[in-house]
Structure 1
């Protein structure tokens, strides 16, 4: 155990419990990590919270972690660690699903450590945060605990083979939580799970520690992993038309990833070297968003859209593709941001130009965005989870009473009546 959390102070009347989150690698950077840490900190106000990181690749996490939250790494993949010398470290995982995108990062050692931890776990609530970890939870998690599968990806982003495997394992859990109502509806329609509650709870984003944008800086920002699905190439192409008309505006793209070299070549080919810059990863990203006047997302698909909410909390209007499944549940078109069709560079350019040329609309949308984004504050999201925990426990008790009636009381009553 790496760090002991402080005992939470409970003033709400809610019974404190131990809550465990299973996460791929809390030492990295990503939306699932950010939202898990946000929720964990909010729940730590009333509960004992532990984050179990399957992998550990560096000494300290990139994101700040609430000191009340305990971090437990299971497999140390740093060069020279004892775990990398374990023979099981090089053997393929047999429990973690082979069709899961992270499969190559897992091993028999990860399988073994996850099983050992979960078999001994005394938590009342255990929450998995990606499909493979939810399989661990279903296979090894104690049946006395409330077991919840979070889906930070989407149903349709999983290949058919993985969906079939998840259906078998999710059937034994208490709940599946998606980040959008649209995705929850897809799960209900395409992965029937009798007796398992399927619902949507959005990701949480705290109020930033920086002053909001005043909307005057001639900066457009984008952020995310530099991969093809995020369509930063489309954003750069659309910005090229903006830069031709307004050369005093600049584009800053934050993030790292395998597409960096291709995107840099595109910037160079379009002659945008002085106006479009790949800034690298930044944490916290709100510090950068607060310096911008517009944030743009050109993604082909989003399971939620953390950067959209983070920008809105900074008082910045967002231009986003109306892609499945998150943006339309976050942005109110024309009120606190703009939605444009997927893969439509001309619409993206027009939306940016509209905000650039209308200072009052840009500032009005920025203020509306800041107000609207308060619904993603961690406190109400944490209360929603607490209500879910309570409902799931109550449901279990009702099912046990029903089982007792059918297996013991009802036959006994029939026997008494026959006598």
Structure 2
């Protein structure tokens, strides 16, 4: 198959970009795969492009480059196809509307995959007939505004499939969205096996990673770790990531006197070498669309103590076997979960081994296989539908030819 992914900006950093590269690279072992980035703002992508995957862009935002288009007259006019209800709307314009439309109408492929709601709307409206049209949901339906949900309900029926990263979100789509004829399928994100040896469970470090954003609730994790330090001052916490909460979290660490125990490490890429320095992963989010960092930690041999927030964690962690699920926002419960693993070396190491084994189901080969089956079934369904349509047309044409009125009608249609 020739498979084409359409993504907001393949040159940035983030979970959607990372998992798109993982999936595209694995599919490219058997198929012809490209990633088309709407924007390009730097010379080289942050993540290495898999060898067999072609990467190209539609709009060049490299200010020092000869192809810079940020001052293009159309870039100053608002987008009319990319939905105004979508969070990235201000970055889109009449220029992106035109470039995306030209790309989709000229695209000669078997499958086209969108990776955010606004791009899925473009695909629904502008992709030519023939390719299987798939819209990926990397967040959750519940996080979208009511106007955006209405927009999706209007345009998504033209897609062949919508994929979500959790079964819980797939069930929400099936229940709340009216998408007749559209297949809604849960396919999780993929995480490759690390290139480093797994953690051995002896390092006295708890590791957390992700954007320093309010939804990640690192303030709760830091307060919980103050309780951990009171009992086990020999353990420390490393938090990797950057974001708007950095100054606030730094002040909290200082106020609690944890400057020797809680370290804000900044962003790191790759993260695998940092995960394996620790023995426990920690996630204290109030909301997760999936939980990439949970899987990353597990693939490095760490059991994860995670809040049981909606969607992701409960579908990843087998509570009590390869990690622990604790209530959202409950400092005492998070501290108790961490201390349970800190104070029991054998339990921590056993859970780490189980986490390593169980997380293999998120390997890119496993996830790519699920997408291959989905694409194949949708392509077959489209072929059968087209064949049935042609058969019905032939039967109708034959029937019309048997009457004078029918023959006259056929002549008028052909003349038109």
Q: Tell me the TM-score normalized by structure 1.
A: 0.93
Query: Partner of 1:361: helix, strand, or coil?
Result: helix
Question: Is it true that 1:120 corresponds to 2:106 in the alignment?
Answer: yes
Query: Partner of 2:136: helix, strand, or coil?
Result: strand
Deviation at 1:48, TM superposition (A): 1.1
Counterpart CA distance in 1 for 2:240 and 2:135 is 30
Match of 2:370 in 1: 384
Match of 1:8 in 2: none
Match of 2:299 in 1: 313
Picking from 278, 293, 315, the partner of 1:292 is 278
Deviation at 1:282, TM superposition (A): 0.9
Picking from 218, 222, 229, the partner of 1:236 is 222
Query: Partner of 2:3: helix, strand, or coil?
Result: strand
Picking from 102, 106, 120, the partner of 1:134 is 120
Match of 1:79 in 2: 63
Counterpart CA distance in 1 for 2:41 and 2:233 is 42
Counterpart CA distance in 2 for 1:297 and 1:95 is 37
Deviation at 1:18, TM superposition (A): 1.3
Match of 1:4 in 2: none
Counterpart CA distance in 1 for 2:125 and 2:399 is 37
Deviation at 1:90, TM superposition (A): 2.6
Counterpart CA distance in 2 for 1:267 and 1:97 is 41
Counterpart CA distance in 1 for 2:218 and 2:306 is 12
Counterpart CA distance in 2 for 1:102 and 1:118 is 20
Picking from 9, 13, 22, the partner of 2:6 is 22
Deviation at 1:31, TM superposition (A): 0.8
Picking from 15, 23, 28, the partner of 1:44 is 28
RMSD of the TM alignment (CA)?
A: 1.6
Query: Partner of 1:132: helix, strand, or coil?
Result: helix
Deviation at 1:411, TM superposition (A): 7.1
Cα deviation code 1:30-76 (max 9, x no counterpart)? 11111111101100101111111111221111112212111112222
Counterpart CA distance in 1 for 2:281 and 2:273 is 13
Picking from 376, 386, 397, the partner of 2:383 is 397
Query: Partner of 1:85: helix, strand, or coil?
Result: coil
Cα deviation code 1:340-393 (max 9, x no counterpart)? 111111110100010000000000000000000001111121111111111111
Picking from 171, 184, 199, the partner of 2:185 is 199
Deviation at 1:145, TM superposition (A): 0.8
Match of 1:279 in 2: 265
Match of 1:97 in 2: 83
Deviation at 1:275, TM superposition (A): 1.1
Deviation at 1:401, TM superposition (A): 3.1
Picking from 347, 350, 357, the partner of 1:371 is 357
Deviation at 1:415, TM superposition (A): 8.4
Query: Partner of 2:228: helix, strand, or coil?
Result: helix
Picking from 344, 356, 359, the partner of 1:358 is 344
Counterpart CA distance in 2 for 1:157 and 1:308 is 20
Match of 1:33 in 2: 17
Picking from 236, 244, 247, the partner of 1:250 is 236
Deviation at 1:410, TM superposition (A): 5.9
Deviation at 1:85, TM superposition (A): 2.2
Counterpart CA distance in 1 for 2:308 and 2:152 is 28
Match of 1:267 in 2: 253
Which deviates more, 406-415 or 27-36?
A: 406-415
Counterpart CA distance in 2 for 1:96 and 1:142 is 17
Gaps of 5+ in 2: 403-416
Match of 1:330 in 2: 316
Gaps of 5+ in 1: 1-16
Cα deviation code 1:271-293 (max 9, x no counterpart)? 11111111111111111111110
Query: Partner of 1:408: helix, strand, or coil?
Result: helix
Deviation at 1:108, TM superposition (A): 1.8
Deviation at 1:140, TM superposition (A): 1.6
Counterpart CA distance in 1 for 2:200 and 2:190 is 24
Q: Tell me the TM-score normalized by structure 2.
A: 0.93
Which deviates more, 232-241 or 400-409?
A: 400-409
